[in-house]
Each structure stands twice: as structure tokens, then as C-alpha cells.
Amino acid sequence: MEKTITIQGTKAPKGRQATFILSTEDIDRDGDVILVGGWKTSEFMKNPVFQIFHDGRQFPIGKFLRVYKHSKQLRGEVQFSDQGTNPTADLAYELVQQDIMRAVSVGFRSNDFEPNDSGGYTYKSADLMEVSLVNVPANQNALILAKSFDAETKSVIFKDYDPNAEEESEEKQDEDVSAEPEQTEEDPFAMSEETYDRIQEILGG
């Protein structure tokens, strides 16, 4: 029997809800892994807003009622804002219900990590900072669990996001670019040495 560990949360009211898998222990597109047992969520639950596109300048589209660990997954129950409160939230909720917009992404602060064999990092401890609904996730196995009638159906995803990791990635890209041979633009009017000699021969008559 699987054991569900509730980290923090409140009872969810009915309507306009969705349950998301926020994180798994699968290797994401960047080669990173976040161990579910290492997630810390207490600070996040003090202001558990659900954002869109990691844009803190927009009004939130909802809030998390509960974040909990289930097997090797970090899950979260979302309450979207009441209909008519926020047009963006209404659109987001409809797209989720229609199984069109399925991906979620997390922002976190790493506390303990080490390189792994996949070219990324294994994060042993991480503070959850924010969660957003997005178009494309990094972790293709972080799914939304939408409820259709009385059965759970799959679907939504999340992006492991770490500003520090992004900075390191940019530095790696800079190193890779600098190591490549210098590229020069090809002159469309350039001619071969053979052609040049032939022209000179004609002109010299």
C-alpha cells in the first residue's frame, strides 16, 4: 500500500480544481533529478499562489490548497480563482479542462546537489519557491491529474527551474561557443583564384 504524506494544506472546496504532479524522480530534459524526499514546501505554503509562465507581474490564476508527497511524486491540489475574477485564470482553467494546456513548471532553491551521470545534477534538498502553468515543461513526466467524472485521468507537466543552474548553463554555453572555430560570413561576390586569374588573362589580352 502506498503511503501519502501530507506536507501542508487545507481542505479543498468544490469546483475549478486540478491536481498536478509537480515533480518526479525522473531525469528531466536538462539531465537533472530532484529527489522527492528532499522537497521543502513550508515557505511556499505561506503564499501558495499558482502563476502562469513564471510571470510574477501578472495576477495569480489560483492557489495551492495542498502540497503533498505520494510515492515518488510531489503533488499539489490547485484551486483556480472564481470565474469572472481573472480572465487569464478563466482561459487557463478552460485550456486545462480541454487537455490543451497541460504543463506546469516549478521554481526552486537548491540546498544540496551533486553532478550525476546524465550531465546534470541530482538535487538532494530543494525549497519550492513557485509553480507556474506553462506551455513546455522540462520534466516530461510531471503530470496533471484532472478528474473526469469519478475517474482520475492523466495529464500536466512541470519544469525544474533554478536561476543558479541557468547561470551555470549560460556559462557552459559561453565556453562551448568560445571553443568553436570562428565563423565568417561568406562573401556572395567572392571568386575563386582560378576565376580571378582567367579574368586577368582576358583583360591583359
| H helix and E strand count, the chain | 3, 12
In a domain, 195, yes or no: no
Please answer whether residues 153 and 97 qualify as being in contact, where contact means their C-beta atoms are separated by less than 8 angstroms. no
CATH of the domain at 61: 3.20.16
In a domain, 194, yes or no: no
Q: Give me the pLDDT at residue 22, please.
A: 92
- Smallest CA-to-CA distance from 26 within 137, 108, 110, 101 is with 137
Q: How far is CA 5 from the centre of its chain?
A: 24
pLDDT confidence band for 141 (50 / 70 / 90): low
How many domains does the chain contain in total? 1
Q: What pTM did the predictor assign? A: 0.63
In a domain, 97, yes or no: yes
Higher pLDDT, 158 or 70: 70
Other beta carbons within 10 Å of 203: 7
Q: Give me the pLDDT at residue 198, please.
A: 63
In a domain, 180, yes or no: no
Whole-number average pLDDT of the chain: 73
In a domain, 199, yes or no: no
Mean predicted confidence (pLDDT) in 133-159: 49
In a domain, 204, yes or no: no
Mean predicted confidence (pLDDT) in 138-149: 50
Domain limits at 43?
A: 4-165
Q: How many CA atoms lie within 13 A of 161 on its CB side?
A: 19
In a domain, 20, yes or no: yes
> Is residue 197's pLDDT more than 80?
no
Q: Give me the pLDDT at residue 136, please.
A: 78
Other beta carbons within 10 Å of 163: 12
- Smallest CA-to-CA distance from 95 within 129, 53, 128 is with 53
> Is residue 11's pLDDT more than 50?
no
DSSP result, 88-107: HHHHHHHHHHTTS--EEEEE
Q: How far is CA 150 from the centre of its chain?
A: 29
Q: How far is CA 73 from the centre of its chain?
A: 16
Phi, psi angle pair for 4, to nearest 5°: -100, 125
In a domain, 177, yes or no: no
